[in-house]
A and B are shown apart, each in its own frame.
Chain A
């Protein structure tokens, strides 16, 4: 089984690649979708929290790759459906790709016969949608991650693994907590060789999709974590 990864210049990608290296898992292929977006300046407290959660948010993906002498293929866009990328992936020897970016996969990339693994910050089918972990904190004071194989819909693919997490005790949910829970689930999937299974669960079609959270609800969710 050959495993590749598709990285973007994001906090999530930083957590994925740093933890994969720390845990000495090997990757058959590294693809870096780099649109050249300038990295934000992280405040010291956020860097400290990321370190406490097993990765360094201040270290760019490119620095990690270069520091570890890893060979990688770089593209100057982040669109997963870009035809140039689709052509490259189609010729790849990897069977699976961990995808750390966002967006819906179109037919052309799904037809490459590769499997794309996404770590979604919610227990599906109850929590679908990109900011669903804020809802999960407000509703049940916990979060979860679902590892699944991507299909053409949002958060509906076959389930590989699901894991629950305590809410955070800090305010950096978007960059640190989200990256932490997804990367921890990724490591657990790899440690337990869960991709080798041939019995993945179909999701029920019915489920709940949460739309982007309003900042008032987001603040209540974050403050409820800090108050605890």
Chain B
């Protein structure tokens, strides 16, 4: 059987976003190539980091108290950190889901995440390059998929991780380790879904 290479992270997706329109069907070997590609990315990360360690390392830039009732501009990473902290406590309420859904929709349409937003969640600068925003958001959506089984979260995780993988060689060791969390989460979620659907492919 002809070998297929997973190509959705081949280009720099920050510079040239992937639209995913009319993607071809290539059979089960496509899924094998996806797993192989993601596992090769995981091998690049030499240190393990825990989410808690990451959260305590984030320097909150403008000290938003909560992700709710925002009255001023905010750093996206601060917002995502607050959201992630609350999600990790298990308190996934409708405010969490609706706030995450706003960012999810924006990313699905633009394939970018602005580093700052105004109080109405409108991106207020043209800096989309902070990869930590993409990684933390991917972790958030992975957990929300796990908790809710809502496929919109898993769909955006795959796209976020494609983008992260497209940048992997430019990332710091810390960021590579952080992305490992999101990619491992994604692989587990995909493995679970494919098993549920009776789709069997190579995981090792």
Q: What residues make up the interface of A, taking CB atoms closer than 8 Å to B? A: 135, 138-139, 171, 173-174, 208, 210-224, 227-228
User: B101 to nearest A CB, angstroms?
Assistant: 10
> When the two chains form their complex, are residues B108 and A216 in contact, meaning their CB atoms are under 8 A apart?
no
Q: B151, A174: Cβ atoms under 8 Å?
A: no
Min CB distance B50 to A, Å, is 26
The segment from B41-49, B118-126, B154-162, B172-180 found at the interface with A is B154-162
Interface of chain B: mostly helix, strand, loop or mixed: helix
Query: Please, which residues of chain A bring their CB within 8 A of the CB of B22?
Result: 174
CA distance A174 to B20 in the complex (A): 13
Could you list which residues of chain B lie within 8 angstroms of chain A, going by C-beta atoms?
A: 8, 19-23, 25-28, 30-31, 34, 105, 108-109, 151-152, 154-156, 158-159, 162, 190, 193-194, 197-199
CB-CB nearest in chain B for A174: B22
Contact indicator A211/B198 (Cβ below 8 Å) = no
- Residues of B near A171 (CB, < 8 A) are 25, 27
State the Cβ distance, B9 to closest chain A Cβ, in Å: 12
Say whether A223 contacts B158, CB under 8 Å.
Answer: no
Which DSSP category, helix, strand, loop or mixed, fits chain A's interface?
helix
The verdict on A219 contacting B31 (CB below 8 Å), with A211-B108, A212-B19 known, is yes
**Bound-state Cα–Cα, A122 to B67, Å:** 34
Ranked nearest first, the 6 interchain pairs of A and B with the lowest CB-CB distance are A211-B108, A224-B197, A214-B158, A215-B23, A223-B199, A212-B20
Q: Number of A-B pairs whose CB atoms are under 8 Å?
A: 73
CB-CB nearest in chain A for B154:
A217
Q: Which of B31, B151, B154 has the most CB of A within 10 A?
A: B151
Contact status of A227 and B34, CB under 8 A, knowing A139-B151, A211-B155, A217-B151: no
Q: When the two chains form their complex, are residues B199 and A218 in contact, meaning their CB atoms are under 8 A apart?
A: no
Query: Contact check: which of A174, A208, A215, A221 meets B8 at CB < 8 Å?
Result: A215
A222, B151: Cβ atoms closer than 8 Å? no
Task: Judge whether A138 and B158 touch: CB under 8 Å.
Answer: no
User: How many whole Å from A27's CB to the nearest CB in chain B?
Assistant: 28
In angstroms, how far is the closest chain A Cβ from the Cβ of B192?
11
A227 touches B199 (CB 8 A): yes
Contact of A214 among B26, B28, B159, B199 (CB under 8 A): B159
Distance between A227 CB and nearest chain B CB, rounded to angstroms: 5
Q: Apart from A217-B193, A219-B25, list 8 A-B contacts with CB within 8 A.
A: A210-B152, A211-B155, A217-B155, A219-B27, A221-B197, A222-B25, A224-B197, A224-B199
